[in-house]
C-alpha cells in the first residue's frame, strides 16, 4: 500500500473522479473551494463535465440535470452554499435520481465564519429541503475515510436512487494526512432503465419529474421513499468503536469531534478510566439500535459535538432513558481540544451521574461558561 500525504479537499475530489463522477458543478466557497479547483483541473483533461456555476442554485440544478441522465454527478460546497442548494436537493429527492453532495461544514448560522463546525447536522440528517425525503448521510473522520466514503457514497446513491451527503468539517477539508486513493474506475456503468439519456431509438420515451399532481400518486411516492429508507436502515449502518467492550462511560461523537474524543479516550484509559468511543459513520441511517445496546452495558454516555447538541437528540432517542446522557459541545467554529473532553470524562468518572431525566444542554451551558471564562 502506497500512502501519500494528501490534502483533504483535493483528495476527496480525486476520490470522486476515481469513483466515476462524470459531472461536477460547483461554486467557490471557503472551506471547500480546493474541491472545485481540483475538479476544474482534472475533469476537462479527462473529458468529463465541469462547470463553475453562477451560483449554488444553478450548480445543484446542473447536478440534477446530469443525474437525470444516469451519469454519476456531484457537487461540493460549504454550509451557506448548501442552504442555497436546498431547493434542488428536494427536487433531486422527489425525482429519485442519485446524487452525491459533499458539505465541508463551517460556523453558522448566516454568514457565520469559515471555521470548522458540525452545525449542519439537522439540515443534513433531517432533510433541509421541503417535503418528505431521507438522504443518506456519511460522516468520515479522516482523509482516508472521506476518500473511502465518497466512493461508497456513489455506490449507495446508485443502489437506492438516493441523495447521499458526505459531511466533513473545515478541519478535514483543509488538513493533510497520509492516505491512499483507489484506482481509477472504468466508466463501464450500465445506464439505468430510468435514465433520460436521449437514446429513444427502440424504446418508449422517458421523462423524469418530481411532480405528482394527484395526491394519491404523491403518496405512493412517499411510501416508496419510506420503504427505501427502512431498507437502508436495515442494510447500511456504519460506525466505528474504540475501547468499547468494558466501557462504563461511552462517548458518542462523529467526524472531527470523534477524532478529538478518541485522543481523550486513550488518555483517560491510561488513567485507568473505563471509557470507550462510539463514532457513528452513517448519521442517516442513525445507529439507534447499536447505541441502545451500549446503554444496556454502560453506566453513562457523553455526547460530544461541534454544535448545540443536534446528535444528542438522536442519542437520547436511542438510549430511551436507560442511562444518563451528558453533553459536551463547542460551537461557532471552535474545535474542541482533547483535554476538554478528558476533563469531562474525569468529571463523569469521579461523580457518575445518576439522573436520567435532566437537561443535558442546560447543565453543559453552566460548565461551558466556566470553561470560556478560563480561556479568556
The CA distance from 275 to 277, in Å, is: 7
- Check residue 261 for interaction with other proteins (CB under 8 A): yes
Q: CB neighbours of 187 closer than 8 A, spacing ≥ 6? A: 20, 22
Q: Which stretch binds other proteins (CB under 8 A): 12-20, 64-72, 76-84, 147-155?
A: 64-72
Instruction: Print the binding letters for residues 332-351 with other proteins: x by CB under 8 A, - otherwise.
Output: ---x-xxxx-----------
- Check residue 5 for interaction with other proteins (CB under 8 A): yes
Min dist. Cβ of residue 201 to other proteins (A): 4
The CA distance from 84 to 64, in Å, is: 14
Sole residue written with cell 478510566: 273
- Closest among 118, 129, 39 to 87, alpha carbons compared: 129
Q: Which CB atom, from 55 or from 235, has the smaller least distance to other proteins?
A: 55
Q: Which CB atom, from 67 or from 125, has the smaller least distance to other proteins?
A: 67
CA 156 to chain centre: 14
Q: Please, are residues 246 and 297 in contact by the beta-carbon 8 Å criterion? A: no
Min dist. Cβ of residue 140 to other proteins (A): 13
Considering only residues 98 through 157, tell me which ones interact with other proteins, judged by CB under 8 A: 114-115
Q: By CB under 8 A, how many residues form the interface with other proteins?
A: 68
- Check residue 65 for interaction with other proteins (CB under 8 A): yes
DSSP secondary structure of 301-355 = EEEEESSSSHHHHHHHHHHTTSS-EEEEE--TTPPPPHHHHHHHHHHHHHS----
The CA distance from 198 to 341, in Å, is: 55
- Check residue 88 for interaction with other proteins (CB under 8 A): yes
Instruction: Print the binding letters for residues 210-229 with other proteins: x by CB under 8 A, - otherwise.
Output: xx------------------
Q: Please, are residues 282 and 238 in contact by the beta-carbon 8 Å criterion? A: yes
End-to-end CA distance of the chain: 46
Min dist. Cβ of residue 299 to other proteins (A): 23
Sole residue written with cell 438522504: 135
- Closest among 214, 199, 15, 10 to 100, alpha carbons compared: 15
Indicate the SS3 state at residue 46: coil
Q: Which stretch binds other proteins (CB under 8 A): 171-179, 222-230, 305-313, 352-360?
A: 171-179
- Check residue 91 for interaction with other proteins (CB under 8 A): yes
Considering only residues 290 through 329, tell me which ones interact with other proteins, judged by CB under 8 A: none
According to DSSP, the β-strands at 99-105 and 72-77 are parallel
- Check residue 244 for interaction with other proteins (CB under 8 A): no
Q: Which stretch binds other proteins (CB under 8 A): 196-204, 231-239, 281-289, 302-310?
A: 196-204
Instruction: Print the binding letters for residues 20-59 with other proteins: x by CB under 8 A, - otherwise.
Output: --xx-x----xx----------------xxxx-xxx-xxx
Binding site for other proteins (CB under 8 A): 3, 5, 22-23, 25, 30-31, 48-51, 53-55, 57-59, 61-69, 71, 73, 87-88, 91, 95, 114-115, 170-171, 174-178, 196-201, 205-211, 256, 259-266, 335, 337-340
Amino acid at each position: 500500500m502506497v500512502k501519500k500525504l494528501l490534502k483533504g479537499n483535493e483528495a476527496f475530489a480525486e476520490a470522486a473522479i476515481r469513483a466515476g463522477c462524470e459531472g461536477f458543478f460547483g461554486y467557490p466557497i471557503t472551506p471547500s473551494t480546493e474541491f472545485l479547483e481540483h475538479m476544474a483541473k482534472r475533469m476537462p483533461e479527462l473529458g468529463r463535465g465541469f462547470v463553475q456555476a453562477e451560483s449554488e442554485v444553478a450548480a445543484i440544478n446542473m447536478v440534477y440535470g446530469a443525474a437525470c441522465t444516469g451519469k454519476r454527478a456531484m457537487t461540493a460546497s460549504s454550509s451557506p452554499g448548501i442552504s442555497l442548494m436546498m431547493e434542488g436537493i428536494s427536487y433531486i429527492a422527489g425525482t429519485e435520481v442519485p446524487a452525491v453532495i459533499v458539505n465541508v461544514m463551517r460556523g453558522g448560522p448566516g454568514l457565520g465564519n469559515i471555521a470548522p463546525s458540525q452545525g449542519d447536522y439537522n439540515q443534513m440528517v433531517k432533510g433541509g429541503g421541503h417535503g418528505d425525503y431521507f438522504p443518506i448521510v456519511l460522516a468520515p473522520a479522516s482523509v482516508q475515510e472521506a476518500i473511502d466514503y465518497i466512493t461508497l457514497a456513489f455506490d449507495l446513491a446508485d443502489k437506492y436512487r438516493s441523495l447521499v451527503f458526505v459531511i466533513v468539517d473545515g478541519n478535514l477539508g483543509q488538513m493533510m494526512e497520509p492516505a491512499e486513493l483507489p484506482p481509477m474506475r472504468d466508466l463501464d456503468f450500465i445506464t439505468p432503465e430510468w435514465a433520460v439519456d436521449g437514446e429513444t431509438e427502440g424504446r418508449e420515451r422517458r421523462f423524469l419529474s418530481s411532480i405528482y399532481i394527484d395526491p394519491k400518486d404523491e403518496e405512493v411516492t412517499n411510501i416508496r421513499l419510506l420503504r427505501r429508507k427502512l431498507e437502508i436502515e436495515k442494510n447500511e449502518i456504519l460506525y466505528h468503536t474504540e475501547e468499547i467492550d468494558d466501557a462504563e462511560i461511552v462517548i458518542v461523537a462523529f467526524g472531527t469531534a470523534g477524532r478529538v474524543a478518541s485522543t481523550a479516550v486513550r488518555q483517560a484509559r491510561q488513567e485507568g478510566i473505563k471509557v470507550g468511543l462510539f463514532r457513528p459513520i452513517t448519521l442517516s441511517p442513525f445507529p439507534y439500535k447499536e447505541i441502545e445496546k451500549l446503554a444496556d452495558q454502560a453506566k453513562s454516555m457523553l455526547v460530544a459535538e461541534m454544535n448545540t447538541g443536534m446528535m444528542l437528540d438522536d442519542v437520547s432517542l436511542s438510549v430511551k432513558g436507560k442511562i444518563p446522557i451528558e453533553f459536551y459541545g463547542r460551537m461557532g467554529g471552535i474545535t474542541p481540544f482533547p483535554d476538554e473532553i478528558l476533563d469531562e470524562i474525569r468529571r463523569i468518572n469521579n461523580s457518575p451521574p445518576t439522573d436520567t431525566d435532566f437537561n443535558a444542554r442546560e447543565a453543559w451551558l453552566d460548565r461551558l461558561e466556566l470553561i470560556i471564562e478560563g480561556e479568556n
